[in-house]
Chain A
Amino acid sequence: MTHILLRGRDIPDIWKYDVYVENGGYEAFKKALSLEPKAVIDEVKASNLRGRGGAGFPTGVKWGFIPQSEPVKYVAVNADESETGTFKDREILETNPHQLIEGALICAWAIQATAVYIYLRGEFWDVAHELDKRIEEARRAGFVGQNIQGTGWSCEVYTHLGAGAYICGEESALLNSLEGKLGQPRVRPPFPAQKGGGLYGEPTVVNNVETLANVPWIITNGAAEYKKIGTEQSAGTKIFCVSGHVAKPGNYELPMGVTLRELLYEHAGGVPGGKAMKAILPSGGSGPIIPATDAVLDTPLTYEDMSKIGSILGSASIIVMDETVDITWVAAKVTKFFKHESCGKCTPCREGTYWLDKVLDRIMAGQAQVSDIELIDNVAKNMQGVTLCALGDFAANPIIYTIKNFRDDFMQHVQKADIKPASKARQAAPAGD
């Protein structure tokens, strides 16, 4: 298959401005500029493109929320990519950066934005400095800056480097971080698209890198062509980041609807060493873990089918675990991540992750009892749906689904444990921090 997004695989030098343009680059932007902004939004709506940052929200609908009457509007590109198992945006940024810039510019035209801010995680230090050069190339060609292509519309494109905080990938935390405030989520409404909710209080579209990189293709080839790829509810290709116990970890851009089996065995080469596949995390550390059964492996990778098997497509960061992996260890590892990354603003998330981590350490040390499994299950369930941002739910998922689907792994640890009186075990775990 030729790629829509990872075109660097087909044309290695496409990161260079000249090569990008020789291969049709910036033609989609010129075409968009010849259309009414609303027509561009309608085309993206008709394509069924959904957000690739994890939530799968329809992109054109999001753009349509922006009130046109406001004079100042922004596009914020989410390049924070920090979820364990996710490394797709980085490949787009490194190997096909102009396509992201072009997609962001088309979005900017569609909502008549005055500036685009590309928020990159701080660790993308080298990537950001290269991207600055690519933006300059687009500026010299008259695609960025004042009176773009004689339309009378002006728009700037800037990069902004984060500095190491997973929570800044959450869209409202990202906006706070850009404004020089603590990178903590905001209370919503107002939502970013609304007056008062976006960057500097102005209406703002926040889109993921991969989402925007799809847009030039859609404008060039039309929504009808785009919808021919993938399934009705999950149009287009998706970059699947495959990591963990596979022979060939890496990014695979494939039409949505490919089965897990085809992706993991045919493309990623299966589990090395002749071992059996035990479990799959289809959406990084934050999505529900599933056992690698035949039924699961035959599931098409779409939003609709993944939810049918009790998981999610999310950002499609697929972490594979072979039969040697203790799923309790996975729960403990992922919980350390969320404990570290909780911004501390809401009590259930801050205290919940702290407690989960404590008790999981005890379970891993063989010092817990069966009731501790119920305890963490309970703590996790009480974190769901009550926090300011979805990190609270993300942190609960690894516990709830590891226990639900791999309870035996937990039992291994507690059966070894010395049985202590319950009251004592409780006392051993300090409350709060």
Chain B
Amino acid sequence: MALSDKKYSQRIEAAFAKYPDKRSAVMPLLYLAQEEYGWVSPEGIQEVADLCDMDPTQVQSIAGFYTMYSEKPKGKYWLQVCTDLACALRGADEFYEELKAELGVEDGGTTEDGLFTVEHVMCLAACDKAPMLQCNFHFMENLDMDKMRAWIAEKRAEAAKAKK
């Protein structure tokens, strides 16, 4: 289990092929590290640094600069709810409060079963479809709590089934 795994070799090669220097591949490779470890773990940082001929501290600072690289392990479903102005005018703050209450977690928290992590984020360029969120980088739009409860129940049932 590492970026040296064969399943990544093609994508690593493709990342390097895009740019005239190795360093530019740091962002795509950090995404691969996150895919591999579930977050940008110290091992992931080291491997990316080795691949890009960079210092691990430099890679760490890049990872820290951007919000989509997760600096700690997350739940299976990472829910990033937009509570920025345009969405807030259409009820996103209330939606987010209810969602946190439903899952029993605080902002940035993960449910005990390890399934859901929630956090609020800035505008996701879907302001006409508020309330909305991004789940593991995929958009879910025009939401309400009824839809969310049904979705959460579905994901919990899937997880329970997988355990058996």
Contact = CB atoms under 8 A, between A and B. Distances in A.
A277 interface: no
Given A242-B128, A243-B127, A163 B67 contact: yes
B85 A285 contact: yes
Contacts of A337: 84-85, 122-123
B125 interface: yes
Interface in B132-161: 134, 137-139
9 contacts: A84-B122, A85-B85, A123-B124, A125-B138, A161-B28, A163-B27, A181-B23, A183-B65, A325-B89
B69 interface: yes
Contacts of B125: 81-82, 86-87, 89-90, 121, 123-124
Contacts of B52: 180
Contacts, number: 129
Contact of A341 (B69, B90, B122): B122
Contact of A251 (B24, B124, B128): B128
Interface of A: 81-87, 89-90, 121-126, 158, 160-166, 177-183, 200, 241-245, 249-251, 281, 285, 319, 321, 325, 330, 333-334, 337, 340-341
A180 B89 contact: no
Contact of B128 (A83, A87, A181, A325): A87
Contacts of A178: 19, 24
A165 B121 CA distance: 11
Chain A at the B interface: mostly helix, strand, loop or mixed? Answer: mixed
Contacts of A285: 84-85
A124 B21 CA distance: 24
B102 to A, nearest CB: 23
B72 interface: no
A340 B122 CA distance: 9
B27 A319 contact: no
B126 interface: yes
Contacts of A251: 128
Given A161-B27, A178-B24, 7 more contacts: A163-B69, A164-B67, A179-B23, A242-B128, A285-B85, A325-B89, A333-B88
Chain B at the A interface: mostly helix, strand, loop or mixed? Answer: mixed
B25 A162 contact: no
B134 A123 contact: yes
A339 to B, nearest CB: 11
Interface in B6-26: 18-21, 23-26
A81 B123 CA distance: 9
Contacts of B130: 243
A339 B88 CA distance: 18
Nearest to A281: B85
B77 interface: no
Nearest to A124: B125
Residue among B25, B31, B62, B86 having the largest count of chain A Cβ atoms under 10 Å? B86
A330 B85 contact: yes
A243 B21 contact: no
A183 B19 CA distance: 17
B127 A162 contact: no
Given A321-B89, A325-B89, A333 B137 contact: no
